[in-house]
Structure 1
């Protein structure tokens, strides 16, 4: 782990070959420790997934610059429209002049097409995008865990699922990549302040993600995780369905 801003504690670590986690610890109301993560995918046409809130744009940019000039970024992706997902989207479009937003069709229609300073590129459900040396696949996931426009991005070379708010863990996320239990703390956090829509497609959507058999889960809050991602997603679905 390399600390890139000593004031905020922002740091960057490789979680798998060519994929970097940028982590900024914060304190929520009441003093609870929390964290915001972004993921930088190295490729001929690099991808930044999540931007973080607008207030931390500069420290995220500093961290990216430890790997590559921010102007090299070509895609700025996120799961759904929310400040921690894409709050600094336009700041990134300004510093990366060839970059475009990457989002779902619903996201482009309802918000990104109007709010972004450049038109978004829609990636349809199930389709892939060649980044040059890497390929990513998009999974539409409306309301899982929330957001009509929500979806997830799967990097096929390393088997990394950019899983957004799934497996959100409290704490500063000091361990960049773990193989220990993240389901128990993430479920405890969810039950305390439930942010899931609990729609009828939650189970089928998690089953579809599990079928991709991810090897790394790139969580937006807390540690990234390595192991049997398909099995862990199935266990999450069971927990949401009330199974012991």
Structure 2
């Protein structure tokens, strides 16, 4: 598992670890995103047992002790398993998450007190601002949320558009079809009536990049891709309700 590092937008780096044993024969990637600024931010901590690999990869970009903010989409091992390992090596770092995530998990889990982000609140990391958006149960997790980098219009969208395989760091190809196929495989989403509306709200941000946690990031008509994904979830909810 040799981590790969690629700059997917100005000052946003994807650290990718490919695990061929998951969802064979295609395999599965676990991606973390480093967002540079005066106060660098890491989105997704990665698994605790993968921490040495992720730390070494991040060190190719900046000294890990410079990290100031650590956040993630929702409470799950691949998203936040190594949170305290990162806090231990970055003395000024602080976890940040939405209200539900802080109250339900991080107030107890994190070794240092976290910062609570309100829905729509922006986090200024020096030279760029990232907006936290609550997305409860989208695609799963009561505490789920995403971050939107206003400078590059990159949506750090977590498990949305998750797909199998070990593709390029960034693609302009289809990410909706592979995401639908992965949902058929894993059945990971928490189907609920608000899914389509929540995802269309993200499309309203007019993102130019999708930083996807599992699979290639996407550069293209992100609003159209989000709209198509919302339509598929609407279809699933209708079918489940029939």
Please state which band the TM-score falls in when normalised by the shorter chain: over 0.9
1:34-74 per-residue CA deviation (whole Å, 9 max, x = no partner) reads 11000000100000000111111011111111111001100
Instruction: Report the equivalent of 2:233.
Output: 240
Instruction: Report the equivalent of 1:3.
Output: none
* Residue 196 of structure 1, aligned match among 189, 194, 212: 189
- What TM-score does the superposition give when structure 1 sets the normalisation length? 0.94
Q: Does 1:111 align with 2:133?
A: no
Instruction: Report the equivalent of 2:239.
Output: none
Give 5+ residue unaligned stretches, structure 1. 1-7
Task: Specify the SS of the correspondent of 1:205.
Answer: helix
User: Which whole-Å CA distance do the structure 2 matches of 1:64 and 1:123 have between them?
Assistant: 25
User: Which whole-Å CA distance do the structure 2 matches of 1:61 and 1:212 have between them?
Assistant: 32
User: Which whole-Å CA distance do the structure 2 matches of 1:131 and 1:71 have between them?
Assistant: 16
CA RMSD across the alignment:
1.2
Task: Specify the SS of the correspondent of 1:241.
Answer: helix
* Residue 34 of structure 2, aligned match among 24, 32, 40: 40
What is the CA-CA distance between 1:242 and the residue it aligns to?
Answer: 2.1
Task: Specify the SS of the correspondent of 2:61.
Answer: coil
1:75-132 per-residue CA deviation (whole Å, 9 max, x = no partner) reads 0010110001011000000011100011111001111110110111111001111110
What is the CA-CA distance between 1:27 and the residue it aligns to?
Answer: 2.9
User: Which whole-Å CA distance do the structure 1 matches of 2:24 and 2:226 have between them?
Assistant: 30
Q: Which runs of 4+ in 1 moved over 4 A?
A: none
* Residue 100 of structure 1, aligned match among 94, 117, 137: 94
- Work out the number of aligned pairs and report it: 235
Give 5+ residue unaligned stretches, structure 2. 237-242
